[in-house]
Structure 1
Amino acid sequence: MTPDHAWHPTQELLEHSNVAVLCRKLGVDGYRELQRRSVADPDWFWTHAMRDIGVVWDVPPLRIRGEDRRIATTRWFPGGRTNLVDSCLERHISEGRGDSIAFRWETEDGTGGLLDYRQLAERCARIASGLRALHIGVGDRVGAYLPPGREAFELLFACAHMGAVLVPMFSGFGVDALAERLADARAKVLVTADATARRGVRHDMAAIARRAAAEANTVRHLVVVGRDGAESLPESPGGVRPVSGRAAPRPETVRWEELTASPPCPRVSLPAAAPFLLLHTSGTTGRPKGAVHTHGGFPVQVGSEVRYNLDVRPGDVVFWVTDPGWVMFPLVAVGSTLACASVLAYDGAIDHPEPTRLWRLLEDHAVTVFGSSPSLSRSLMGRPLPDAAAPRRVRILGSTGEPWTEDAWHWYSAEFGGKRCPVINISGGTEVGGSLLGSAPTLPQSPCSFSGPCLGVDAAIVDAAGEPAAEGEKGELVVRQSWPGMTRGLWRAPGRFAHTYFRRRPGLWSHGDLASGVGDEWFVHGRMDDVIKVAGKRLGPAEVEQAVLGHPRVVEAAAVGVPHPVKGESLWCFVVTREGPLAEAESARIRERVAAALGPAFRPSRVVAVPGLPRTRNGKVMRRLISDLISGDPPGDLSALVDARVMDAILAAVRSQPR
């Protein structure tokens, strides 16, 4: 992949973007020089970045980092005391911006509303007081099983206000997945909605939450948000299930309105290392891991990314298509409010009731910064566009979740963005507390590329021997120094933390992504677990899928390696098609497309048409699950998938379609 710049920064971004202003203030010659200095002297960079971002300290830290600089044990901001609510909400009120809109929301039926910073701060103080009345104190865990909307946003800041630890969970989880995470966190309270709607169909969340809370055996109060006008709260179906040989107590039900009616309570001052979030990973490789993020590190990290990469400024309206259970929800919520911007949340299908619902949302709410996953672009590419295809006010396009294919990137940049917006690609994860790699709004962009590591992130690409990978060669993405957003450990699993991230390469954070660098730009090719090795040759699935998606009838594709007695692995391609199954001649043409693009050695052994791919609610296609399914290996926890039934459909397709 050779850099071929498809977008160049405008003069406005070169002069007035947040990162350009910071570079002038610090006397630094542009983003790349700032990135180099930020890893050469992290204390210097984060000192200036914190001030620029607007982080408020009750007690300033003694230093930026503790004396132990080992990556796994670095302490950030020792001695400091803070509460991120001061930085995100109270600061703007005290500076005379309390009337600025902090949050706006809309549901699928068109209802919605606005909250300014003053209203949001007061409501969060009331909700925090209501949680205290339920005997929640500093450090106690509060589960959130909510659709994207007002309550998820308010609860995040309410927990921070009074020092509780928020445990967000995907709004599509079933009983077992929800109960497992509640039990792991030992959550005392679970907040849910009575129901949500997708494509006009009501989904009963409270019934699932009630059963999961009882099964977890730690939840004492179930707080229910009345969203669909139900007169009474749903009863637990089938009674309480026994747990560990004894009946679990039935959680007491409390209405959300009771929390919000409480008198405001003062916010608490907390050590910088006090936990703010407990975010579980998807759990597809075993028991879900709980990543811990703090009041000190998380806002500093996401504040930097949102300010310097996404270029969010006061008055911007930020809309990221995400679920409250994914790290992008708190990242956007905290990062945008630090910038005194407005966050939009939408609860519903973005193409319902009409295909152009997304465009209407962007127009009605005057969205200026929009983000999604590449899979969303691929799903929209084949649909008719509205007359004014490029949203008028959007100036920044964001992207994360999985690697791009070039055709989808070009569509997002040119057709959706009108060629005027940078595509700010960011890549990190739940445990990262933000991103390791990012695009800069002041640098030219090639399709699918990153400008390199985010500011303050000392990342590298290494080969199998741990040496720097040659230009253009794929290697593993690693990090050599701690960064503020890095998880402070895995919840109740310190040994698992060291084993997961530092066992393979001692002294380096092994992130597990396959990456390469060409010139000054970086590219991500997927997870190391997804790497396919055919006859000793290694490639990432994105390269194969790029070739497959060039076929006019293919909508989605996943390339996986399947064990082979001679080659080690053979290449199989799973495709979702338009208008019915593939004919054998079409499958043959897809094989030839891949062979022509990547070489005869990588001609797929099979092309299987399937009704869908195993995808998490954050948009990631779980290729490893397909490989395990075909190989006969246990797939592990499927609770993070949008629809686990797709696995049975894939197996049936493999068995029914000829080789």
Structure 2
Amino acid sequence: MHRRRAGHRRTDREPGRDPMSAYVWHPTPEFTEHGNIAAFCRSHGVAGGYRELQARSAADPEWFWDRAAADIGIVWHTRPTRVCEDTGGIAFTRWFPGGRTNLVDSCLDRHLRQGSGPAPALRWEREDGTGGVLTYDDVAALSARVAGGLLGLGVREGDRVAGYLPPGPEAFVLLFACARIGAVLVPLFSGFGAEAIAIRLVDAGARVLVTAAATTRHGRRHDMETVARTALRKARCVRHLVVVSEESGSRVLQEPGSGPAPTEPATTTWHRLADTEPAATVSRPAQAPFLLLHTSGTTGRPKGAIHTHGGFPVQVGSETRYNLDLRPDDVAFWVTDPGWIMFPLVAVGATLAGACVLAYEGAIDHPDATRLWRLLDEHRVTVFGSSPSLSRMLMGRDLKQPAAPPWLRVLASTGEPWTEDAWRWYFADFGGKRCPVINICGGTEVGGSLLASAPTLPQSPCSFSGPCLGIDAAIEDDDGAEPPEGRIGELVVRRSWPGMTRGLWRARERFVHTYFGSRPGRWSHGDLVSRTGEEWFVHGRLDDVIKVAGKRLGPAEVEDAVVGDPDVAETAAVGIPHPVKGQALWCFVVPEAGRTLGPPELERIRGRVADALGPAFRPGRVIAVPELPRTRNGKVMRRLVRSLVTGETPGDLSTLVNPACLDAIRTALHGQ
């Protein structure tokens, strides 16, 4: 594993020059002269390139979003009377009022009218190597037939249809089928248990649940249908269950009208659902919801973010067109799940561009870690995105792989802050120093991103170019003032944007309190960020901030110092209540394979942190653990680690994929 001394970010302890500010990637003419940003700037007389466009779009968002919608290819059935109407304040801004559209018309039907129907829209592959390709003609036709099947089940405009599916053609097609008839899709993570599914089905009031019979990860079959049926015992709102059968056809399913038990919904197959007359694309108000996607909170029930036919495609279309530079001949592959925001973001954003999406069902490192390289090669992926955790997983393995194939031109990431070692591996070892790393920072409620990198600007490790186009974002300290350059504050947004959730499902007061309660008139995003020159850096979540004797730091900079130790594979830094300091810094560390972390090694790690961040930040404890709690998309759940120490209620555990690690951490806490 390649390692170097971890650079550390400037924080409120250390003014001065940031060691990471030296650019390691410089834009090429492919982006500065021939990319989508360059074309937009030429068309609208923006001589100063991305920086000037960024400033103008934040100052005059109506100017930008009107022109961006046209450039992206949004089809209006009735043109909006204006771009936005904000008399209700930032929380209740209406985007594209008076407009009527349907995102299916912009993403699919438009391309058919323009003669691009034979172009590939979706490539997919399963862990066993099977797969296929759907063209735009195929997706349009199949989604229309599935939409007709949903109408036959009694689904009408505004009804909720849940999808509990692995990545693949059914999840892709279901999104457009629901949108086509004005139904609202409720995506569910394919790794959820029955309780998590039931909670979301009941909250949404879903009428239909579409599930796979099973999925496979690491060669093991996971029964999804049984989990779904267990969830339906508590979700009486669901009237119909649709099952994507396994190719073996081992299960005999009930069809509608075949006499299901009184307590069970009627059951049909995906094949029969799609074997119907195609439904027409309905025209919907721009404010009409098409997506209800839940995001987990630390306490209480999950929050249902609402995204619309007008705002969501404009927002994600801007990000995929200008930040990811997606073009019609691209193949975009993001390691994600249909239950996370990145799946609909890529599906909608790529099809707006006329590009192709690759969906992979299974473990990305099965049968070994070279699987990723084979996917990139065989499907000729040009735009690839993942979480930093995937890089941290792969960089520790002796892969002996060449850099990614030469046609890969854009790397992207989201989900959590980078460590510099992992970023440099992604950029240099994996990407061959040829591709920009487009960091994006947003979330489910954002409907896209608030911060992003731009391929037309030089980059230093872990950096963002700043706020996304059309986003009026700022950094504020606890008093609402802008902190000095290099010091950490909270990311806030001063005006609404098209992708912002239209509230929380059936929870208006919770929406206002959660995002606007601490800073009235500002969207409080909860991310800790800093700015150095023109670049921005993300340091972690406000929930994860550590305050030692009044000094605040994000966990990422602590972790950056710890993973520089040759015996450490990964780490999580948390703040633990302390009677004198307010909080003490504790680090939980996972050893490299074949290594042991005994008292001498743990003391050495404490010293590394003190050397990197200052004596005041020497960890109170460093605890060796076999693994850290994480979600399937790689996020380390620091709040769970902290709750094991403090005894606090851990909150929502539904996204945790390795619950057994919690007992192992408890044992380590008592044994060291």
Is TM (by shorter chain) over 0.5?
Answer: yes
Change beyond 3 A, Cα 1:285–1:581: farther
1:129 pairs, out of 117, 138, 148, with 148
Q: Output one character per residue of 1:63-97: Cα deviation in whole Å (capped at 9) or x when no partner.
A: 10125162111100000000000000010110011
Structure 2 counterparts to residues 72-221 of structure 1, below 5 A:
72-221=91-240
Separation in structure 2 between the aligned mates of residue 233 and residue 485 of structure 1, nearest angstrom: 42
Q: Read off the aligned partner of 1:641 and give its amino acid letter.
A: L
Separation in structure 1 between the aligned mates of residue 179 and residue 471 of structure 2, nearest angstrom: 26
Q: How many residues align?
A: 646
RMSD of equivalent CA atoms: 1.2
Q: Who is 1:22 aligned against?
A: 40
Q: Read off the aligned partner of 1:200 and give its amino acid letter.
A: G
Q: Read off the aligned partner of 2:303 and give its amino acid letter.
A: K
1:618 pairs, out of 633, 647, 663, with 633
Separation in structure 2 between the aligned mates of residue 599 and residue 234 of structure 1, nearest angstrom: 64
Q: Output one character per residue of 1:5-56: Cα deviation in whole Å (capped at 9) or x when no partner.
A: 1110012211011011111111111101101110111111111101110000
2:482 pairs, out of 463, 468, 477, with 468
Per-residue deviation at 1:644?
2.2
Moved more, 10-19 or 83-92: 10-19
Structure 1 position 362 matched with structure 2 position 376: yes
Separation in structure 2 between the aligned mates of residue 278 and residue 391 of structure 1, nearest angstrom: 37
Per the alignment, in what secondary structure is the counterpart of residue 215 of structure 1?
A: coil
Per the alignment, in what secondary structure is the counterpart of residue 469 of structure 2?
A: coil
Separation in structure 1 between the aligned mates of residue 299 and residue 345 of structure 2, nearest angstrom: 24
Structure 1 position 413 matched with structure 2 position 432: no
Structure 1 position 384 matched with structure 2 position 383: no
Q: Who is 1:561 aligned against?
A: 575
Separation in structure 2 between the aligned mates of residue 161 and residue 560 of structure 1, nearest angstrom: 46
Per the alignment, in what secondary structure is the counterpart of residue 588 of structure 2?
A: strand
Separation in structure 2 between the aligned mates of residue 459 and residue 233 of structure 1, nearest angstrom: 54
Structure 1 position 45 matched with structure 2 position 59: no
Q: Read off the aligned partner of 1:92 and give its amino acid letter.
A: H
Q: Who is 1:7 aligned against?
A: 25
Per the alignment, in what secondary structure is the counterpart of residue 447 of structure 1?
A: coil
Per-residue deviation at 1:485?
0.1
Q: Output one character per residue of 1:368-412: Cα deviation in whole Å (capped at 9) or x when no partner.
A: 000000000000001123442322211000000000000000000
Per-residue deviation at 1:637?
1.6
Contact preservation (8 Å) 2:253, 2:267: no
Q: Who is 2:498 aligned against?
A: 484
Q: Who is 1:242 aligned against?
A: none
Structure 1 position 344 matched with structure 2 position 358: yes
Structure 1 position 317 matched with structure 2 position 331: yes
Per-residue deviation at 1:494?
0.3
Q: What TM-score do the two structures reach when normalised by structure 2?
A: 0.95
Q: Read off the aligned partner of 2:312 and give its amino acid letter.
A: F
Q: Who is 1:238 aligned against?
A: none
Per-residue deviation at 1:591?
0.6
Contact preservation (8 Å) 2:86, 2:92: no
Separation in structure 1 between the aligned mates of residue 170 and residue 450 of structure 2, nearest angstrom: 30
Q: What TM-score do the two structures reach when normalised by structure 1?
A: 0.97
Q: Output one character per residue of 1:292-311: Cα deviation in whole Å (capped at 9) or x when no partner.
A: 00000000000000000011
Q: Who is 1:649 aligned against?
A: 664
Per the alignment, in what secondary structure is the counterpart of residue 233 of structure 2?
A: helix
Per the alignment, in what secondary structure is the counterpart of residue 613 of structure 1?
A: coil
Structure 2 counterparts to residues 53-68 of structure 1, below 5 A:
53-66=72-85, 68=87
Q: Output one character per residue of 1:491-519: Cα deviation in whole Å (capped at 9) or x when no partner.
A: 00000000000110000000000000000
Q: Who is 2:612 aligned against?
A: 597
Separation in structure 2 between the aligned mates of residue 283 and residue 323 of structure 1, nearest angstrom: 19
Structure 1 position 282 matched with structure 2 position 296: yes
Q: Output one character per residue of 1:246-300: Cα deviation in whole Å (capped at 9) or x when no partner.
A: x982111110001111111111100000001001002333210000000000000
Q: Who is 1:519 aligned against?
A: 533
Structure 1 position 608 matched with structure 2 position 626: no
Separation in structure 2 between the aligned mates of residue 146 and residue 114 of structure 1, nearest angstrom: 18
Q: Who is 1:549 aligned against?
A: 563
Q: Read off the aligned partner of 2:659 and give its amino acid letter.
A: A
Separation in structure 2 between the aligned mates of residue 131 and residue 593 of structure 1, nearest angstrom: 59
Percent of aligned positions with the same letter in both sequences?
A: 67
Q: Output one character per residue of 1:135-168: Cα deviation in whole Å (capped at 9) or x when no partner.
A: 0100000111000111000000100011100000
Contact preservation (8 Å) 2:127, 2:362: yes
Per the alignment, in what secondary structure is the counterpart of residue 85 of structure 2?
A: coil
Contact preservation (8 Å) 1:516, 1:523: yes
Per-residue deviation at 1:214?
2.2
Per-residue deviation at 1:350?
1.0
Contact preservation (8 Å) 1:451, 1:522: yes
Q: Output one character per residue of 1:610-629: Cα deviation in whole Å (capped at 9) or x when no partner.
A: 12112122322111221122
Structure 1 position 232 matched with structure 2 position 251: yes
Separation in structure 2 between the aligned mates of residue 233 and residue 520 of structure 1, nearest angstrom: 61
Structure 1 position 506 matched with structure 2 position 520: yes
Q: Who is 2:6 aligned against?
A: none
Unaligned runs of 5+ in 1: 236-246
Per the alignment, in what secondary structure is the counterpart of residue 446 of structure 2?
A: coil
Q: Output one character per residue of 1:600-644: Cα deviation in whole Å (capped at 9) or x when no partner.
A: 111111111112112122322111221122101111120111122
Separation in structure 2 between the aligned mates of residue 16 and residue 650 of structure 1, nearest angstrom: 52
Contact preservation (8 Å) 1:126, 1:264: yes
Structure 1 position 585 matched with structure 2 position 568: no
Q: Read off the aligned partner of 2:300 and give its amino acid letter.
A: G
Per-residue deviation at 1:354?
2.4
Separation in structure 1 between the aligned mates of residue 150 and residue 495 of structure 2, nearest angstrom: 38
Contact preservation (8 Å) 2:493, 2:524: yes
Q: Read off the aligned partner of 1:62 and give its amino acid letter.
A: T
1:439 pairs, out of 442, 449, 453, with 453
Separation in structure 1 between the aligned mates of residue 440 and residue 522 of structure 2, nearest angstrom: 21
Moved more, 475-484 or 68-77: 68-77
Per the alignment, in what secondary structure is the counterpart of residue 229 of structure 1?
A: coil
Moved more, 342-351 or 645-654: 645-654
Separation in structure 1 between the aligned mates of residue 626 and residue 248 of structure 2, nearest angstrom: 36
Q: Who is 1:241 aligned against?
A: none
Structure 1 position 296 matched with structure 2 position 310: yes
Q: Read off the aligned partner of 1:43 and give its amino acid letter.
A: E
Contact preservation (8 Å) 2:253, 2:269: no
Separation in structure 1 between the aligned mates of residue 337 and residue 404 of structure 2, nearest angstrom: 24
